Structure 1
């Protein structure tokens, strides 16, 4: 009996000691875990805050600090690029006789601002970013004056003349570089598909675009504006008259006398008609009537409100639709 009692006492003592050791081990483990967690929390780097602004250098060498996500932008005559990026400006470019009508669906509720951007008018819109298309927009002390209103970034003459580069630069300035590249990629797919359709329907055929305004004709340059689209992107042949006038001219559209039009041997002729009834007699002239494309029923007329006079992914996309509608039956 005594032996049994001693055995039981020893067994109970061992069990109590085991439980005590286990508890101590558990506490040490928890303390260690808590210490690790505490140290990790203490040593963890602070969350990185998104930048609120960036400093960029514009076309004229000005260092401009722009907001990371501008909300109230004025970008006179650059609206095509803004709309393509899904941005609605607070005001849109205008001249006494109108706006860029081809953007009216996107900018219908956007108030206008005069093309020369009066300081008072710009101030009234409370912009947080001003994008200038041309060097002359900020000549003299204008840059300093506009910069007092909001950060002012000049895209510049060179980039504005290159619609692709202009879109990419504006995308960079407004923090949408990736979106800008996607817009260009989607446009290139559309242009490539259109070229294939046009080559299938009119391989080797030539075309020209004419702008009729105030009784005079202007022909599009071979490598600029809608000429770049017709010849470079869509693969239509360049008439000799277009080559000749483009070599001598400097503008997107260069004047061409009616007599020279008699030599225009284009298979297809696109006419952007900004004329009035008083001007229309030029379109009844025998020289005009004897142009091969006119005689053959290959004259396609569009109003001055169309996008043929502009450049950009939206403008060119609409011109592509016009060309396909006219040539690809």
Structure 2
């Protein structure tokens, strides 16, 4: 009887051990599971099911919106970071915008998301792909932040969360149009960026211009229309003489040079929106120079605050 009990116990333990091994093996396989996806440059990329160490230079807005924290964050020059994201990225080390190979290697990423084709010039894709799966996100003039959010949501298998981010954003846009109806309908607005004593104006179909005109419904000033025809970037330089003719009801100013001499020039003082105290200023740490769901949401919050 005793031998039977011992044998039975041993057999049971052996079965449990085998089952545990099987579960461990399955668990390990699940952890190592990959999905093969084709990126914007037709690379076949094996995406880990749940990447833990992501580098996505200048795409951090999308990661944060999808509740992902990268192992490094974009910078250009000394101290130039996306300040508006620091409530989520504080303490995350920086990596230069051009992703130096040695710096990427040291960070041991398990996924690289590339948001600019220029980053890959000189055959750099093959070098990055040796370090980690490297996925090029569709980018360029006709690619919106919504496009990139959906692509990244797909790569990270967070499609539903990406859709929710868009839905929440759209609800904020509609609520803002309703709340500020009297301040928006029939009113024109322009976005300026002043840096190094030079002024730049946003194009009507890019960045904050797309937000103001296409989504919120502000009228486009004639000067903005003229600038937009030749625009090759989000912001185009504009002379102070041209700005003196700016007929916008509101000016949203991103001021990265508070001591600029141009602010003391009579031409600046006589701009209608400046004379009428309809100039609303944000510093260079605000989200107005960036793209992404969080950047756009914060712009809307700024507009709601100053026009309420």
Which position in structure 1 is the counterpart of 2:49?
68
Q: Show CA shifts across 1:236-286 (max 9, x none).
A: 111111011101222111111100001100001111011153xx2101111
Which position in structure 1 is the counterpart of 2:40?
59
C-alpha separation in 2, matches of 1:139 and 1:232: 34
Kindly indicate whether residue 98 of structure 2 is the aligned counterpart of residue 116 of structure 1.
yes
Q: Show CA shifts across 1:74-94 (max 9, x none).
A: 000000000000000000001
Q: Aligned Cα RMSD in Å?
A: 1.7
Change beyond 3 A, Cα 1:137–1:156: farther
SS of equivalent residue, structure 1 residue 308:
helix
C-alpha separation in 1, matches of 2:200 and 2:116: 23
C-alpha separation in 2, matches of 1:159 and 1:265: 27
> Is 1:198–1:234's contact at 8 Å kept on the other side of the alignment?
no
Alignment of 1:4-15 (within 5 A): none
C-alpha separation in 2, matches of 1:159 and 1:76: 18
Which position in structure 2 is the counterpart of 1:13?
none
C-alpha separation in 1, matches of 2:172 and 2:205: 20
Q: How far is 1:161 from its partner?
A: 3.7
SS of equivalent residue, structure 2 residue 74:
strand
Kindly indicate whether residue 220 of structure 2 is the aligned counterpart of residue 251 of structure 1.
no
SS of equivalent residue, structure 1 residue 157:
coil
SS of equivalent residue, structure 1 residue 271:
strand
> Is 2:56–2:113's contact at 8 Å kept on the other side of the alignment?
yes
Q: How far is 1:167 from its partner?
A: 0.4
Give the number of the structure whose alpha-carbon radius of gyration is greater: 1
SS of equivalent residue, structure 2 residue 57:
coil
Choose from 244, 247, 251 the match for 1:262: 244
> Is 1:134–1:160's contact at 8 Å kept on the other side of the alignment?
no
C-alpha separation in 1, matches of 2:203 and 2:228: 5
> Is 2:201–2:236's contact at 8 Å kept on the other side of the alignment?
yes
C-alpha separation in 1, matches of 2:183 and 2:243: 26
C-alpha separation in 1, matches of 2:55 and 2:166: 22
Q: How far is 1:203 from its partner?
A: 2.2
Which position in structure 2 is the counterpart of 1:201?
183
Alignment of 1:126-145 (within 5 A): 126-145=108-127
Which position in structure 1 is the counterpart of 2:145?
163
> Is 1:92–1:110's contact at 8 Å kept on the other side of the alignment?
yes
Structure 2 gaps of 5+ residues are 1-25
Q: How far is 1:326 from its partner?
A: 1.3
Kindly indicate whether residue 212 of structure 2 is the aligned counterpart of residue 230 of structure 1.
yes
Count of residues in Structure 1 that have an aligned counterpart in Structure 2: 280
Kindly indicate whether residue 258 of structure 2 is the aligned counterpart of residue 283 of structure 1.
no
C-alpha separation in 2, matches of 1:55 and 1:162: 24
Q: How far is 1:195 from its partner?
A: 1.4
TM-score, with structure 1 as normaliser:
0.82
Structure 1 gaps of 5+ residues are 1-46
Change beyond 3 A, Cα 1:141–1:248: closer
SS of equivalent residue, structure 2 residue 280:
strand
Which position in structure 2 is the counterpart of 1:87?
68
Change beyond 3 A, Cα 1:118–1:255: same
Which position in structure 2 is the counterpart of 1:102?
84
Q: How far is 1:136 from its partner?
A: 1.5
Instruction: Give the ranges of 4+ consecutive aligned residues of structure 1 lying more than 4 Å apart after TM superposition.
Output: 47-51
C-alpha separation in 2, matches of 1:302 and 1:134: 27
Which position in structure 2 is the counterpart of 1:221?
203
C-alpha separation in 2, matches of 1:160 and 1:177: 22
> Is 2:221–2:248's contact at 8 Å kept on the other side of the alignment?
yes
Change beyond 3 A, Cα 1:136–1:160: farther
